[in-house]
Chains A and B, each alone.
Chain A
Amino acid sequence: MAVAQGAPSRGALLSLKIPRGRAATLTLYIIRRILWLIPVLFFVITITFVLMHFAPGSPWDKEGKQLSAAVIRNLNAKYGLSDPFFVQYLRYLGNVARFDFGLSFQYEDQSVSSLILRSWPPTAVIGVLAFAMIVIFGIGIGVVAALRQNTWVDYAVVGFSTIGASTPAFVLGIILIIIFSVTLYRITGGAFSLPTGSFALDQHLIMPVVTLATLPIAFIARLTRASTLETLRQDYVRTAWAKGLRERLVVTKHVLKNSLIPVVSALGPTFAVLITGSVIVESVFAIPGIGRAFVVAVSSRDYPMILATTILFSVIVALANLVVDLLYTVIDPRVRLT
């Protein structure tokens, strides 16, 4: 064995027999991070479960006509809510371990897994498209603004970021609907207008994606601009200019890579937020997505649906952070994963 006893071991889960190449380290790092998800999820489930059951109101409390005591007793029996709290908790943990997330309380005859599988694709499509827009436009206009600091381009970008960052999605969404659906429909006599809402893989996507992307674009553009300005003042950039390199080379080779480090760490959580759905954008545009499903589940105390979506969101956030950490090793050679 090449490693002497007592040598510091890198990573608790590392077996010393495995060759120590960079790829292997990375694989082990990823495996370890994924295994860490198990205790994280355990705590997420526990906290959610406890909070949920102590929130006032039962799934059967409603507005209007009240369910009778006999019906509530029958519902509790049907959904296992008449058992003691701890029994319910242990049974839920056991079911989750078998990837069984149970039946929805609200949609009386549908499994939570099928509800999530149905409502996530629209959210994910819009989220991924919005993310692509954010990366392209956010970083793009941020860099351009920094390179042309104190020109009209810069002022336009800063102006856009300020307005974009301070316009809530429900305002922007409604404005877009008024302009591109209602007004355009009236002007063209119905010949051309964008659809007001709902989900389809065509022009239906335009307004929701733009609405969802505007605020993060503004935010990422500001971040990129600030970070690029700082990088431009670094000695090694001055050296690059001094060597007579062309602007394109200086920017792509020296500036961009370093100024993107803070941007990447912001993009990770942004991506996680985007693909877990925005309840506002989904409501304004009537998109059958998971953001709306989650809020409806909370307000109707649909316990299995709340738990399952919380678990899903935790996994996505954890994975997005993992990807960010991995990307660091690519853009910043100083970062080493252990």
Chain B
Amino acid sequence: MDDSVARFRWLRVPALLTVVGLLAAACGNPAPSTSNLAKDQTLRVNIQVEPNSLDPGQEQYAYEGAVGVSISEALVRVKADLSDVQAATASSWSTSSDGLTWTFKIRSNAKWNDGKPVTGADFVYAWQRILDPRLAASYADPFFDGTIAGAADYLSLDPVKDAAKIPAFLAGLGLSAPDASTFVVKLQAPSPFFKWIASLWMSAPVRKDVVDQYGSDKWATSPTSLITNGQYKVSEMVSKDHITLVPNTYYWGGTPTLTKIINYEISDDNQAYAKYLNGELDLDNVPLANTDLVSNDPKLKNEVKKVPQLTLFWMDYNTRKAPFNNTQARLAFSKAVDRASLVKNVGKNRWTAANFFIPKGMNGYRPDLGKTQDYDPAAAKTMLTQAVGDPSKITIDFLIRNSTANKQLGEFIADQLQTNLGVKVNQVVIDSKTVTTRLRKHDYQLYVGGWGADYPDDQDWFDIWMTGSGNVFGGWSNAQYDALVKKADVEPDAKKRQDYYDQAQKIMIDEAGGGFLYQRGYMFLVKPWVQNLTTTPIDQENIGDQFWSKVSIAQH
């Protein structure tokens, strides 16, 4: 067990050197050395919104994951380069030859923050709890009920009418702990992507005795009862103000350098920006509107760090309504938006243009597949006229969520469509909840939708365009696409799997299921004394927040 600790430490050195090197190369600042650490190892960041819950079973938002990844540790965790997962609470795992049984070995020194050991039974309990319809966990469907053997009935199990059937349903799930250090999961179908589900912060273990003692809805509301197994634990929660984390002294991986992480809950961009300027925050997510200000400031521009995100946006066409029931019309619209200008003028060069679906940073990234949606206003207009007649007779209702950034994006797209196609675009700017309701009722024609990776596997992306998915509202459907994706999801051979996904992506782009626009990127200000920031394209609320344990604060 000491071996794992040693290996962990050894891994840190090259990572640290890489980051130091990058920092030096990026800003020309003298590289901070580890010997001059500040006395106060406190990191102050902004998570913007107060988490609705810190119970792994109840979390669903990035501002919850921002704290969740540090305090709750799942079986495995992502590698920083997203190439694979790495050992976390489980020291090793194996898959049966049919791909249906996954066996995780829990570290013997994995401990909760009250000193008790983490056992396989804790995982069985946590996952059964997520699949209990009475908890109404947001991530139960499709991550857990779609993969675990016996869980498919979750869809039909009513928490009130079928209450009597629930205990038998939970007992019948393919989850077991043959001994304290083993956790066995049986799956419905071979699922190569299951390792990513095991890495999600909501699949972290939960302690039954704690939930029983304090109540399922209460245990996660106070630091004293919030017993978790991550590298950090919550020491203070001040509602709508901050959540403070300190190291979990029982953590298997030793003590991190940072002795305190203060997560402020500041929703106002200007307030957070002022706090960064005043040295009250160490990181600040630069608001889109401040991009030029920061880029032109002689001091601040050296503190800028840009990180691409696995988040991509597209024009969501309601294929149930004219003109978007016509494939050629959808393609014409997709060809009518100048992505290069969009990325430069609206995205302030923080975004990258994308006329394809799978973003850069994922296995399925194939920019060449986007050719059919290349910007070509003349061809687009001809195409639209041929498909549905005189464009000037077409009026499009364009649904936009009310925020400054969304309105700017909406105006740009509306202007492009009006100029390049000659259609009329009616921008409907309304509050977010109303927009979602109208989308779910399919009461719209055009909307800018998007997807952010839950985990960096193609399955997480391709499934949302399958017929009947609730996450793409436009209703595009293609039987060939569905068949290819279904085949790919369970294909163990990586090369074959990729080939199926590529074919599926081509079908969807060529039929313009959506008109793809851009991949989003982060722009952060980072104080020069924050060392060893390890960022990934799927960080939660702040860049580097999946790996706070590697960060240290230099003297300043």
> Which A residues have a C-beta under 8 Å from some C-beta of B?
55-58, 61-71, 73-75, 77-78, 82, 103, 106-110, 115, 118-119, 174, 177-178, 181-182, 185-186, 190, 193, 195-199, 283-286, 288-289, 292-293, 299-301
Contact = CB atoms under 8 A, between A and B. Distances in A.
29 contacts: A56-B434, A57-B431, A57-B437, A64-B450, A67-B138, A68-B470, A69-B470, A70-B155, A71-B137, A77-B134, A77-B159, A77-B160, A78-B134, A106-B52, A107-B50, A107-B52, A108-B53, A119-B240, A177-B270, A181-B274, A182-B278, A185-B277, A185-B278, A190-B279, A196-B274, A196-B275, A286-B264, A286-B266, A299-B431
Given A71-B141, A77-B160, A286-B266, A66 B154 contact: no
A198 B471 CA distance: 37
B280 interface: yes
B58 interface: yes
Interface in B241-287: 241-242, 264-268, 270-271, 274-275, 277-280
B471 A288 contact: no
Contacts of A65: 60, 452, 454, 471
A63 B135 CA distance: 22
A73 B270 contact: no
B495 interface: no
B470 A57 contact: no
B136 A77 contact: yes
B434 A198 contact: no
A338 to B, nearest CB: 45
Interface string B154-189: 110011100000000000000000000000000000
B217 interface: yes
A181 B278 contact: yes
B241 A199 contact: yes
Nearest to B161: A77
A301 B136 contact: no
A301 B52 CA distance: 14
A63 B470 contact: no
B499 to A, nearest CB: 28
Interface string B44-63: 00000010110100101000
B436 interface: yes
A310 to B, nearest CB: 18
B71 to A, nearest CB: 16
B438 A56 contact: yes
Interface of B: 50, 52-53, 55, 58, 60, 133-138, 140-142, 145, 154-155, 158-160, 217-218, 220-221, 238-242, 264-268, 270-271, 274-275, 277-280, 401, 431-434, 436-438, 440, 450, 452, 454, 470-471
A299 B434 CA distance: 10
A197 B275 contact: yes
Contacts of B434: 56-57
Q: Is the interface of A mostly helix, strand, loop or mixed?
A: loop
B239 A118 contact: yes
B433 A301 contact: yes
B529 to A, nearest CB: 14
Contact of B267 (A77, A78, A186, A283): A283
Contacts of B274: 177-178, 181-182, 196-197
A109 B220 contact: yes
B433 A299 contact: yes
Contacts of B432: 57, 62-63, 299
A78 B159 contact: yes
Given A82-B160, A196-B280, A103 B217 contact: yes
A63 B471 CA distance: 10
A63 B241 contact: no
Contacts of B440: 61, 66
Contact of A56 (B50, B158, B437, B450): B437
B436 A63 contact: yes
Contact of A61 (B141, B271, B433): B433
Given A68-B142, A109-B53, A284 B270 contact: yes
Nearest to A82: B160
Given A62-B436, A66-B436, A178-B274, 12 more contacts: A56-B433, A67-B470, A73-B158, A77-B158, A78-B159, A119-B239, A185-B278, A198-B242, A283-B267, A284-B268, A292-B240, A301-B433
Interface centre among B264, B267, B271, B454 (most CB of A within 10 A): B271
A66 B436 CA distance: 9
A70 B58 contact: no
B241 A66 contact: no
Contacts of A57: 431-434, 436-437
B240 to A, nearest CB: 3
A292 B266 CA distance: 11
A314 B1 CA distance: 62
A109 B218 contact: yes
